[in-house]
Amino acid sequence: MLREDSMQDYPKHYCGVFGVYGHPRAAELTYYGLYALQHRGQESAGIVTSNGQQFYKHVGMGLVSQVFKGDVLREMPGNLAVGHTRYSTTGSSHLGNAQPLTGTCWRGQIAVAHNGNLTNASAVRDDLEAKGLMFQTTVDSEIILNLLAQPALNSHENNVVQTIRRLEGAYSLVIMSEKELIGVRDPFGFRPLCLGKIGDAWVLASETCALDLIHAKFVRDIQPGEIVVINQDGVSSVQAFPEHERRAFCIFEYVYFARPDSTIANRNVYKVRVEMGRQLAREFPIEADVIVPVPDSGNCAALGYSLESNIPFEMAFVRNHYVGRSFLQPSQLIRDFDVRVKLNLISELVRGKRVIVVDDSIVRGTTCKARVNNLKEAGATEVHVLVSCPPHMHPCVYGIDFPDRSKLMAANHSLEEIRNYLNANSLYYLSQAGLVKATGLPESSFCMACYDGRYPVAFDAETDKHIIERRNGHRPSLGDALVREKAQIKLL
């Protein structure tokens, strides 16, 4: 298997959610929707359908195409469906944590697919456990399921508004009951979620690229704080946080996570990334002979730099699209297997040339260093590294796998120290102002906490840690309880 240090140099995705209401082949459409959202999570996938009376569920570890084999989809009837493809941010990677999560309560069956990360998950879960609720998973999404299932005080039912007002952090949700589909977005709008239509059926999806694959028409983005309910009466909407004005869309969606063929907030991701490259060229004009992207994440920005600078663009790194597990450990026979198995260099395109290599981010730096060494070994006379976003200085608590500060290169080293480590002739990062300018949206639209440390939703890491440690510590067993009860009876 590839070594962990090299595989973790790029941030991992979080999750993709998808839902269909009112289509006789809802399971099949959801399969294709998840296929289009595969880039958002490759650890597990799942679909739940409803025929109006009963749920049909299938989840598994692996890619969408691996989980749904054979006749699985044919055995999932119903015109409602919700799907999820997962990368674990909260909760470990195993089948028990695969989504959508389902449960049965007094109101019937419920399925929840969640993209994001709750910052108050430990405190809410601790409160629910103190009331006697049992949890089957370690994912924060199960908190949402339990809140939805609880009746509210002084009321016959606990509605979605009451539930999400107890949540803090990032969440885009697709919720399914036996006869309706619900889309929810947190009041800050950290994660994307959109509404589409195919014929008379309605679709919810993390990104518009999923709508394109099934020939669904994009209707609009779900607004931050909005709850959209789709049922036999049509589509209705309510704003759960009418007083909330602060917006904090994750700007890293534009930099890296979203597919380039998606459109978010009326901005095509591909065009935004090309503009990031143009902005890099304006901020840091370098004399060079060729521009080389690190595929696929650096392609658009490298093209933008080329267009702005008139320096030729070459795809000198060739990506192997069939990289999977290697059951042979790399040895001295191929000492840099973990580097070359993913990208191989066409030496003729860089030999004797001054090269600008463009990538979207440098988190730990090990992979970037290997690319620079590849280029110099191939005969490049100079290698200049340009990054289409600012330096990552802080961890993300809203669902991105950015490590703690001790493992973030830019948080612990100066620009010159990083340049020396990479063995590059120069190193430049796009400025925060340049990044925002490339989107064409106001700075107040975004969360950029991983760059500037300004977290839109407060969180207490020490409190969360204390609660988790207490939960993972000694738990009284059922036998302990019986012994105590017996002792009390004797005392009486």
Among 15, 300, 368, 450, the one annotated catalytic: 15
Task: Please state, in angstroms and rounded to a whole number, the distance separating the CA atoms of residues 58 and 162.
Answer: 29
Q: How many CB atoms within 10 Å of residue 153?
A: 7
Tokens of 426: 């120069």
* Whether 15 contacts 86, CB under 8 Å: yes
Closest CA to 408 of 13, 10, 91: 10
- First and final C-alpha spacing in the chain: 62
Phi, psi angle pair for 310, to nearest 5°: 65, 25
Retrieve residue 98's tokens.
Answer: 């695969």
- The C-alpha atoms of residue 180 and residue 234 are separated, in whole angstroms, by 10
Q: Are 34 and 45 in contact (CB under 8 A)?
A: yes
Detail the DSSP E strand segments found in 240-348: 249-250, 263-264, 267-268, 290-293, 317-319, 343-345
15 is catalytic: yes
In 353-367, which positions are buried (b, 16+ CB within 10 angstroms) versus exposed (e)?
A: bbbbbbbbbbbbbbb
Task: Write the DSSP symbol of residue 256.
Answer: I
Write the DSSP assignment of 128-148 as a string of letters.
Answer: HHHTT---S-SSTHHHHHHHH
Residue type, position 446, single letter: F
What does the alpha-carbon distance between residue 454 and residue 249 come to, in Å, rounded to a whole number?
Answer: 13
Q: How far is CA 331 from CA 139, 323, 372, 444, in A?
A: 37, 18, 22, 50
Q: Is 85 within 8 Å of 91 (Cβ atoms)?
A: no
Per the listing, tokens 């609720």 go with 133
User: Which residues participate in catalysis according to the annotation?
Assistant: 15
